[in-house]
A and B are shown apart, each in its own frame.
Chain A
Amino acid sequence: MSETTTGGAARPSASSSASDALPGAAHEVRLVVNGEVHTLAVDPRATLLDTLRDRLGLTGAKKGCAHGSCGACTILVDGRRAVSCLMLAAACDGREITTIEGLATNGALHPVQQAFVDQDAFQCGYCTPGQIMSVAGLLAEGRARDDAAVRDELSGNICRCGAYPNILAAVRQVSGIEPTPAEIGADARLRDAAGGA
């Protein structure tokens, strides 16, 4: 784990007592991002998403709505899925954060990343980091029970290109979920894969 300290444009709070803080006073936080410790002075208004993107240069997490309505900014916080646009960086002191940049190891794609490529689970790619983090989170949370559960669990991540069936296929590839008979009957690729007519 390496330590870096990044100075901010905003002034660090002079007082250690939070109750004395003035509006706009910067707040110092320690974030563990993809295993690396960053100590930053942040504007209390700064969201975690903007901080990752504009302060740490981690632009993999995307801003699609800034209101938690699209999931493009999905990351893992302490191992669980979260939308970073609705988190104030100031409130993230000490949190362990994983972004899409932290998923691949030694240049090898994470199995979820590889499954997204294999199943063509995206077109434009903008929602993709959020989708992948959401899938990684749902697998870690043990929620990939069946197709119906996965569809619901991934409904916080909007894909306007409409890659949902391929995203579902990617989840099947990594989770081993078997498609239901109805799904097989309705999808030619699954019929072919099952060897049926």
Chain B
Amino acid sequence: MNAIGSPISRVDGPAKVTGAATYAADFAIANLAHAALVQASVPAGRIAAIDTRAAEAAPGVLAVMTHENTRRLPWHPRDPRPGVDPKSGERLHPLEDDLVRYDGQPVAMVVATSEVEARAAAELVRVSYAPTAARTRFDPAYGHEPSAATAKAGRPGDTARGDPEDAFTRSEVTVDVPFVQPREQHVAMEPHATIAAWDDEGGLTLYDKSQWVDNVRTEIGLAFGIDEKRIRVISPFVGGAFGSGLRTWPHVAMAALAAERVGRPVRLALTRRALFTNTGYRPRTESRIRLGADRDGTLSSIVHEAIGQTSTYEEYAETTLTPTRQLYACENVATHYRLVDMNVNTPSPMRGPGAATGQLFLETAMDELAQALGMDPLDLRLKNLAERDPDSGKPWSSKALRACYEQAAERFGWADRPRDDAARTVGHERIGSGMASAFYPAHRSKARASVTLYANGGAMVQAATSDMGPGTYTALSQVAADALGLPLEQVRVEIGDTALPQAPAHGGSITMATLGNAVANACSRLREDLGVENGGDLVAALGGRDSHRAEGSSSPGKEAQDYESAAFGAIFAEVRVDPELGTVRVARLVGGYDVGRVVNPKLARSQCIGGMVQGIGMALTEEALFDERLGRVMNANLAEYLAPVCADVGALEAFFVESDDRIFNPLGVKGLAEIALCGVAAAIVNAVHDATGLRLHRVPVTPERIVMAQAARGG
């Protein structure tokens, strides 16, 4: 019996297609009150005065909370900080002081008996500000090195191997490529929402949108100075997050403060506009990359500088330059990473954090190098394939990137792509083809899980992990079904609740490599407890007991010191560009992936095509428009922040090359959420060049930018 590897339909599918799945704002809680935020309308300054009288008199209002009347929480520091938090600076303590750090910051909160009343009263709160000078322009001149703590966390300011500057000047062929990736927003379909309910004994229950319920519990425990055992966080379904649910955002504490104030459960659902400034985003990052090569295409030098934005109160940094150090075999590599502090809310991980950005820069520059060399872009990648990790010198625990390149090229028809004018022209449109590599480091973390076998032959898997969409429910069911020798239908999975065994963040593509092994381990323990070998009758071994529960765990071993592990891929894009109107449509994408063992090919494919769709957005439509004068995101809605729609998406093909990484972990999986985005935008941008001859060193590639680039080129 092999559930693992089978294209099983999602076990939570029926709940999701009938509306029965409960997301954070869906929980029916008796006597629920509702909170609404008042947000700052200046990017920096002090609150001079807040007039709450009209709001307090409005119908249904239970409380109007400001820094003048809200109690100071202790906000005990976390040591060590969780991996998802910035390593330097201090998180926002909402309603604690009169300081405005960015436009959109919460400055007051209204609690009322209905949401419409709370929001109406929030409109009536009058705040006057004493503005101060704000840094709202992304100015590379202000770039500073990351702090020591940030550098230690894998985001160093300067790194070098070999002598890249000297090698660059001696290189036979060079390119020097600037690039801008704007601020991008997660815009998961489910807005963040929290329901906070205190019980009579001072215990707190939070229904929250979260990728990491244990993290929410710890943070709120420290913020309020209460034992985290008295807090329960429930989050069974997460309506997409892509990183926005990794941290515990200030509104979670605000919901708990509101519930405490009014003595009733309170729901705080962020509006779509508020999400842009009260959760995170992918930071604007500017890049300059210099590549040098021998005539035969062998990379001789890489010098990559990147500057990302962060806030004035926290130092958020990304692993933007990690792919530059690890993707290609090159002896001379330097990376320089800087940060610009701005009066903005703090960025956060967003799918493929750092790596997706870095590969947009690296893989578009590689395309320019291939052009300068007169070499096929695929051949350039193959020429520089890194058989060992070029940075550490360690072997890869597994790597099937060559197979990804070759099989994806074959399926795409790369060798036969249209090249001459006649073959490329269809009506008003020109066909362009492009490709890129994809790479994302694989990690695993510590986790526990339990499995309970019942006398009726059913089993229950439990862990405090999440499922924001990839299929954790289904995949853990498959692991347990195989490990216990049970039909899949007899396995149930419970996740998203701090009452369950501790789990790490559901992010960074680590969930299956971490939880999958913990569940397998729990199943082994259960077999040992019952003294049943593989193939034996577990239920009979219960011997009349109703059930038996076993707990297992998983943590990284020595392999993490001896090997480097990563997922790999190759992406090929065909675009149709209308050069006159500047429109770009993605006709098809083909991605081949080495992600280790694939637990469920049906769901894994869905995740990969989902990454492709977000890559289309990154390449062609998505940009948070930031007005430097006001310090404000102007398109903070879903009508003008343009996530791709169905009509933007052509034929998408994702497949997996044969791969199984038992060195990395017993289950053999490497993770695929992040790599599904990596390289996609670069492949599309490269295809636009192929179609038009234009190098646009900026995404999104819009009609306006295409026609302006044509004008600059003189035609």
Known A62-B190, A124-B468; contact A9-B60, beta-carbon cutoff 8 A: yes
- The stretch that binds A, out of B320-328, B331-339, B542-550, B600-608, is B600-608
A100: chain B residues at CB < 8 Å are 17-19
For residue A91, CB closer than 8 A to chain B, the reply is: no
User: Are B12 and A125 in contact, CB atoms less than 8 angstroms apart?
Assistant: yes
Q: Which of A43, A65, A164 contacts B638 (CB 8 A)?
A: A65
B223: chain A residues at CB < 8 Å are none
Interface 1/0 per residue, A100-129 and B, CB below 8 Å: 110110000100011011101011111111
Task: Please measure, in the bound complex, the distance between the C-alpha atom of A102 and the C-alpha atom of B238, giving whole angstroms.
Answer: 23
For residue B358, CB closer than 8 A to chain A, the reply is: no
User: Are B189 and A117 in contact, CB atoms less than 8 angstroms apart?
Assistant: no
* Number of residues on chain A facing chain B (CB within 8 A): 67
For residue A143, CB closer than 8 A to chain B, the reply is: no
User: Are A162 and B651 in contact, CB atoms less than 8 angstroms apart?
Assistant: no
Nearest neighbor of B25 in chain A, beta-carbon distance: A63
Q: Which of B215-268 contact A (CB under 8 A)?
A: 237-242
Q: Which of A66, A116, A124 contacts B17 (CB 8 A)?
A: A116
Interface 1/0 per residue, B579-606 and A, CB below 8 Å: 0000000011000000000000011011
User: Are B19 and A124 in contact, CB atoms less than 8 angstroms apart?
Assistant: no
Q: Which of A54, A129, A166 contacts B115 (CB 8 A)?
A: A54
User: Are B653 and A186 in contact, CB atoms less than 8 angstroms apart?
Assistant: yes
- The stretch that binds A, out of B99-107, B561-569, B611-619, is B611-619
Q: Which of B457-481 contact A (CB under 8 A)?
A: 468-471
Q: Which of A152-173 contact B (CB under 8 A)?
A: 152, 154-168
Task: Please measure, in the bound complex, the distance between the C-alpha atom of A50 and the C-alpha atom of B28, giving whole angstroms.
Answer: 13
For residue A12, CB closer than 8 A to chain B, the reply is: no
Q: Which of B20, B238, B602, B645 contacts A158 (CB 8 A)?
A: B645
Known A64-B191, A123-B471, A186-B588; contact A70-B607, beta-carbon cutoff 8 A: no
User: Are B609 and A126 in contact, CB atoms less than 8 angstroms apart?
Assistant: no
A160: chain B residues at CB < 8 Å are 186-189, 240, 242, 614, 643
Task: Please measure, in the bound complex, the distance between the C-alpha atom of A62 and the C-alpha atom of B186, giving whole angstroms.
Answer: 18
User: Are B646 and A168 in contact, CB atoms less than 8 angstroms apart?
Assistant: yes
For residue A141, CB closer than 8 A to chain B, the reply is: no
Interface 1/0 per residue, B99-136 and A, CB below 8 Å: 00000000000000111110010000000000000000
Can you give 23 A-B contacts (C-beta < 8 A)? Answer: A50-B116, A59-B28, A60-B18, A62-B189, A63-B25, A100-B19, A101-B18, A117-B9, A120-B605, A123-B606, A123-B607, A124-B188, A125-B21, A125-B237, A126-B189, A154-B645, A159-B646, A160-B186, A160-B188, A161-B189, A162-B612, A163-B606, A164-B613
Given contacts A57-B28, A124-B468, A165-B652, 14 further A-B contacts (CB under 8 A): A43-B117, A46-B116, A59-B22, A60-B20, A61-B19, A69-B638, A109-B18, A113-B18, A120-B602, A126-B240, A128-B16, A132-B17, A160-B614, A162-B644
